[in-house]
Amino acid sequence: MGVLKVGVLGAGIVGLVSAEEVVKTFPSADVTIIADKFLMDTTSDGAAGLFMPVLYNFSAKTDDLTREIIKESYEYYSNFINKNCGVTEAYGFLLSDTTKEVCYSDMLSTILPIYRDATEEELLEYPGNWRYGTYVKTLITKGRNFMPSCLKRLKESGVKVIKKTVQNINELENKFDVVINCSGIGAAELFNDTSLVPLRGQIVKARSPEVDKFILAGEETYIIPYGHGVSTLGGTHQLGHYDTAIRKHDTQGILNRCSALLPQLKNTQILWEWAGLRPYRHSVRIEKEKIRKLKVIHNYGHGGVGVSTAPGTSKYAVLLMEEMLKNSKL
């Protein structure tokens, strides 16, 4: 058998962490990342990066696998806390004025170091009719810092990078033995997956030195510290919208809701705005598929929690890759 040639399609957080897992598992493989967007041009760059993977009903094929993915991912990022690559510990509240389910998860309560009910006094600190709340210690991973450091490590370990748009997966057939597909929302068109849809999210980065905790209030409103006196204010969840241009009325809605929650934000300075497309699917797709001669491992459809869950899904994707290679002659 010659050198194993692995292509990783996509350079968002899922592609980079998958490439890293391939290098770890197959140190002598020849690994190439192919993507048309890198770093600041990806969705992963703009994400708030809060580790809260039960939002948006993230699920894998089974509950056990979902749990394993979340646990693996938390452990992975924990190794990078305060190592100058954008991973920090974070404390904050999940609030709900309707049901407890919006802000409580049995699964997360056993993975995160602090996960307890908010007290009456804590609920009263925030204007609104907050009936349920959870106080949490978790992590924030800033894609803008984490991805460059990850890409640097990959290049140092010999991973190659090609900037190109793949129009048809068959283009990669004679170039690689196996391709890990981490193309995010791009998979909808490339693999004709009609169950993958964009969930548009717009955010505002605002100057907010007073914000030291994150607050997720209901399903739409969030304030998440971004470091250096800046916060991410959100958000929107617009299913089926492909447009990433900034919408003024979304900005106004975000500012109104966030300043109602935290009046100190009333005259906050907007630093920049951004909109991205969460690759939303009923369940993340981590599967093997043979397309003509090419072995493909899919790893996409992480919805609104791709930064949080990428390490765990990538570990499982590479496990499937090992299985697929064992069962076939190259």
Ligand X SMILES: Cc1cc2nc3c(=O)[nH]c(=O)nc-3n(C[C@H](O)[C@H](O)[C@H](O)COP(=O)(O)OP(=O)(O)OC[C@H]3O[C@@H](n4cnc5c(N)ncnc54)[C@H](O)[C@@H]3O)c2cc1C
Q: Report the alpha-carbon distance of residue 109 to residue 112 in Å, rounded.
A: 6
Q: Which of 23, 31, 49, 172 binds ligand X (CB under 6 A)?
A: 49
Here the tokens at position 140 are 């924030």
Q: Which of 205, 295, 302, 315 binds ligand X (CB under 6 A)?
A: 302
Q: For the window 267-296, what string marks contact with ligand X as x by the rule CB under 6 A?
A: ---------x-xx-----------------
Q: Which of 6, 19, 23, 35 binds ligand X (CB under 6 A)?
A: 35
Report if residue 138 touches ligand X, rule: CB under 6 A.
no
Q: How many residues of this chain interact with ligand X, rule: CB under 6 A?
A: 39
Stretch that binds ligand X, among 152-160, 177-185, 284-292, 318-326 (CB under 6 A): 177-185
Q: Which is nearer to ligand X, 133 or 201 (CB)?
A: 201
Report if residue 196 touches ligand X, rule: CB under 6 A.
no
Q: Which of 8, 26, 42, 112 binds ligand X (CB under 6 A)?
A: 42
93-129 residues labelled b (16+ CB within 10 A) or e (exposed): bbbbeeeeebbbbeebeebbeebeebeeeebeebeee
Q: Report the alpha-carbon distance of residue 33 to residue 12 in Å, rounded.
A: 10
Stretch that binds ligand X, among 10-18, 92-100, 131-139, 258-266 (CB under 6 A): 10-18
Closest Cα partner for 49 from 330, 304, 311, 327? 304
- Which contacts of 152-161 are long-range, i.e. CB under 8 A and separated by 24 or more positions? 153/20, 154/16, 154/19, 154/20, 154/23, 154/31, 154/33, 157/23, 158/23, 158/31, 159/19, 159/23, 159/31, 159/32, 159/33, 160/30, 160/31, 160/32, 160/33, 161/11, 161/32, 161/33, 161/35, 161/38
Strand-strand pairing, 178-181 and 5-9 = parallel
Q: Report the alpha-carbon distance of residue 254 to residue 107 in Å, rounded.
A: 29
Report if residue 44 touches ligand X, rule: CB under 6 A.
yes
Q: Which of 92, 133, 225, 304 binds ligand X (CB under 6 A)?
A: 304
In the numeric block, the tokens 């969460």 are attached to: 278
Q: How far is the CB of 325 from ligand X (least distance, A)?
A: 23
Q: How far is the CB of 260 from ligand X (least distance, A)?
A: 20
- Segment 307 to 326, residues that bind ligand X, using CB under 6 A: 307-308
Q: Report the alpha-carbon distance of residue 144 to residue 106 in Å, rounded.
A: 31
Q: How far is the CB of 269 from ligand X (least distance, A)?
A: 20
Contact 103, 217 (CB under 8 A): no
Report if residue 23 touches ligand X, rule: CB under 6 A.
no
Q: Which of 12, 133, 311, 312 binds ligand X (CB under 6 A)?
A: 12
Q: How far is the CB of 330 from ligand X (least distance, A)?
A: 25
Q: For the window 212-251, what string marks contact with ligand X as x by the rule CB under 6 A?
A: ----------------------xx----------------
Stretch that binds ligand X, among 24-32, 47-55, 86-94, 107-115 (CB under 6 A): 47-55
| Positions that interact with ligand X (CB under 6 A) | 10-15, 35-37, 42-44, 47-50, 165-166, 182-186, 190, 201, 203, 234-235, 276, 278-279, 300, 302-308
